[in-house]
A and B are shown apart, each in its own frame.
Chain A
Amino acid sequence: MIFDIFYGILMVIGALFMSLAGLGIIRMPDLYTRISAATKASTLGAAFLLLSVAVKFQEPAIVVRMIAVIFFIALTAPISAHIIGRTAYLTGIPLWEKSKIDEFKEAAQTVMEDEERAAEEGENPMGCL
């Protein structure tokens, strides 16, 4: 009985975070804030949904699998977000016009030069772009 209520609550929280992520994609003003809203809220939403499944069934095989899935989502989602954000910045996608500061500007210039030189020499040091 108490577990029924508990897993229901977890599932509703998960669904709320998922819809928050979807709304965030529409509401945010530029690519970087959109990535921020989408990856984080959806990771947390997926974690809550999987946790509610684990609480519902309470079998070791399922609980262990759910924890493994949460672990791998938390491990891989930030990496894709990081690569998308980095590539976007280096290819010149602008920040929101009301952004406060940008301390990456000069460093990004040298990164681009590095990448171009490496591309001319036929290697690919960073593995992207």
Chain B
Amino acid sequence: MKTFLLNILLSALWVAITGGFSAKNFLVGYILAFMILWFVQGTGEATPYFDKVRAILFFFFFFIWELIKANFRLALDILTPAHRMEPGVIAIPLDVETDAEIVLLSTLITLTPGTLSLHVSRDRKMLFIHAMYIDDPDRFRESVKSGFEHRILELFR
């Protein structure tokens, strides 16, 4: 958190010195300041900030990739006469615990085409999702757990 504020401060300094008050210039300053802070990180106290930023970036690209992949699969099924899908409702045991993590996980699952979260059990141990492409129930469960859930845990802890 402290490193993040320092990063913002340094980017504001960059904006002030270069005199260009635009979002683009702020972004340039942010990246420069991030690189400088990353370079000198060994000298100060240890901070999870750099791992967090990396996790957020990876998460973002991972999500975009999943979105594109699933959309093409869905498009193929909509545009061709035969139904290739094997839909079903699957229960996924949850490792995420807090409200924010569960909301994020179920929202992401619903946003990915082909999967739809239906219900979270009262004790918050199970998430029931409807999925359109289940080749193998156990493998599907594993792919959600090691994909979205693993990354969300990385992000929040």
Whether chain B is bound by chain A comes out as yes
- Chain A interface (Cβ < 8 Å from any Cβ of B): 17, 20, 23-24, 27-30, 32-33, 35-37, 39-41, 43-44, 60, 74-75, 77-79, 81-82, 85-86, 89, 95-96, 98-105, 107-108, 111, 114
Residues of chain B lying within 8 A (CB to CB) of residue A98: 83, 86-87
CB distance from A48 to the nearest CB of B (A): 11
Beyond A32-B116, A74-B111, 10 extra complex contacts between A and B, CB < 8 Å = A27-B77, A32-B87, A36-B130, A44-B113, A60-B23, A75-B107, A82-B106, A82-B110, A99-B86, A105-B89
Give how many B residues have a beta carbon under 8 Å from the other chain's beta carbons.
38
B132 on the A face (CB < 8 A) = yes
B37 on the A face (CB < 8 A) = no
Residues of chain A lying within 8 A (CB to CB) of residue B22: 60
- Chain B interface (Cβ < 8 Å from any Cβ of A): 22-23, 67, 70-71, 74-75, 77-79, 83, 85-91, 106-107, 110-119, 121-122, 126, 128, 130, 132, 134, 137
CB distance from A38 to the nearest CB of B (A): 10
Residues of chain B lying within 8 A (CB to CB) of residue A85: 116-118, 130
User: A40-B71, A100-B87, A101-B137 known; A107 and B107 CB under 8 Å?
Assistant: no
Residues of chain B lying within 8 A (CB to CB) of residue A20: 74-75, 78-79
Q: B115 contacts which of A24, A36, A79 (Cβ < 8 Å)?
A: A36
Q: B111 contacts which of A23, A43, A102, A107 (Cβ < 8 Å)?
A: A43
Dominant secondary structure at the B interface = mixed
Per the bound structure, the CA–CA distance linking A37 and B135 in Å amounts to 19
* Top 8 A-B residue pairs of the complex, sorted by shortest distance between their CB atoms: A78-B110, A40-B113, A100-B88, A103-B91, A101-B88, A104-B89, A104-B128, A32-B130
Per the bound structure, the CA–CA distance linking A35 and B22 in Å amounts to 41
CB distance from B106 to the nearest CB of A (A): 7
Per the bound structure, the CA–CA distance linking A81 and B71 in Å amounts to 17
Q: Write the chain B residue with the least CB distance to A79.
A: B107
Per the bound structure, the CA–CA distance linking A60 and B24 in Å amounts to 10
CB distance from B81 to the nearest CB of A (A): 9
Residues of chain B lying within 8 A (CB to CB) of residue A108: 119
Query: Can you offer 9 A-B residue contacts whose CB atoms are under 8 A?
Result: A36-B113, A40-B113, A43-B111, A60-B23, A95-B88, A99-B88, A104-B91, A107-B119, A114-B122
Residues of chain A lying within 8 A (CB to CB) of residue B75: 20, 41
Residues of chain B lying within 8 A (CB to CB) of residue A104: 89, 91, 118-119, 128
Residues of chain B lying within 8 A (CB to CB) of residue A32: 87, 116, 130
